[in-house]
Structure 1
């Protein structure tokens, strides 16, 4: 992808809309809508790196109630010609075609390499990557199994969505508090994942979410790992243009 002069690529992750309740997440939703209105003026593309929703499951004829303004805004931006790319997170991994069919937004379930003006980016949510986190990796295998998904579909949406949202908010990262602390470069699993990727691939930028902590780690002279943070505590996002990649904080309310 060639970025036109004066245009930028924007990145956002970990909004967790709907947590801890639909009502309490509305201020964050409004702020995110303001951000989308801001970036539309010079966006060459928008990348959403997962956990946009605190819970999402697509039944064959039903999607979860709520966040209709965000869905409408994304549809509006796509209809205006702005490319949008979505990478599922661990909270909204059950996407089976709704975004593609209704919004025209491609959805990715694994990290993917993109080339922007000759620079290579590896982009993804980041859950389950790198060493450690073995408990979650086992759980993810269950969540992504066709049999588990088939079983969950048989639960009435009123019960299934309520149960899933209750379990979801038990995750301490939703609060964006003491768990979202810098562990040191050697203990940041996504940084270690990036270093291993560099052993076989030349990547200029690794862009991930999931950690709820804005972060920049220089891996080599030519490669850097960035974490986008979240829209719970930091309201942070990434932007790339001819000057490079930056993490910024959105302040409008």
Structure 2
């Protein structure tokens, strides 16, 4: 899949499941888009994703079915995991037909090369977050989360969210910004003229 032709990009829906009002909006929107149009999801499709525990959650079943219906009908979907759903894996890909790109992806598009990322990796001044990001994405932690009981995984997710919300007010806003130098460096390394990402979804003039 490229960014040539009709391609749609979404990110940061933070779906809690089929009962989330956002899901109905997503469903209606996707039903109005021809399957000949590509779709890229730049992370945080879910409020959190805990591997097998989330895969078996009845709340998530309609979301997975929506993605599968589209891919089975010929619609190409690419997903770059975000900080909330970085545990999407091969099982998710098989269940939905979605292609997963954990490290982002470089594509040909209008004006040359494009680099697609989630965006949290660009917040390099937030050292505490970047350390946590490395720990959570490490093989031991990923293995533990995938194999521990579902109730423990959900408790861990809630605890991390509470800790995150508590830490944000104490941080300098500039510390949490995406860093232009890091963005330019990654774009150069990917030979990309354009970088497209999500994550920092807040109002700006």
State TM-score, norm by structure 2: 0.81
| Aligned pairs (5 A) from 1:1-253 | 7-18=5-16, 26-38=20-32, 40-41=33-34, 43-59=36-52, 63-116=56-109, 119-168=112-161, 171-172=164-165, 188-200=177-189, 202-213=191-202
CA contact (8 A) 2:49 2:85 kept: yes
Note if contact 2:111-2:193 (Cα within 8 Å) is conserved in structure 1.
no
SS for the counterpart of 2:196 is strand
TM-score (norm 1): 0.67
Rounded Cα–Cα distance in structure 1 between residues aligned with 2:85 and 2:54: 17
Q: Which deviates further from its counterpart, 44-53 or 112-121? A: 112-121
Q: Structure 1 pair 108/44, CA: closer, same or farther in 2 (3 Å)?
A: same
- Give unpaired runs (5+ residues) of structure 1: 173-177, 217-253
RMSD: 3.3
> Relative to total residues, which structure has the larger helix share, 1 or 2?
2
Q: Tell me, what secondary structure is at the counterpart of 1:54?
A: coil
Which structure features the higher share of strand residues?
Answer: 1
Separation in 1, partners of 2:204, 2:70 = 28
1:83-129 CA-partner distances (Å, limit 9, x unpaired): 10000001100122123212221111112110135621100101122
Question: Cα distance, 1:161 vs. partner?
Answer: 1.7
Which residue is equivalent to 1:220? none
Deviations 1:154-191 (A, max 9, x none): 4311232244135326644xxxxx9xxx96xxx84253
The Cα shift of 1:53 comes to 0.6
* Structure 2, unpaired ranges of 5+: none
Shift of residue 13, structure 1, vs aligned partner: 0.4
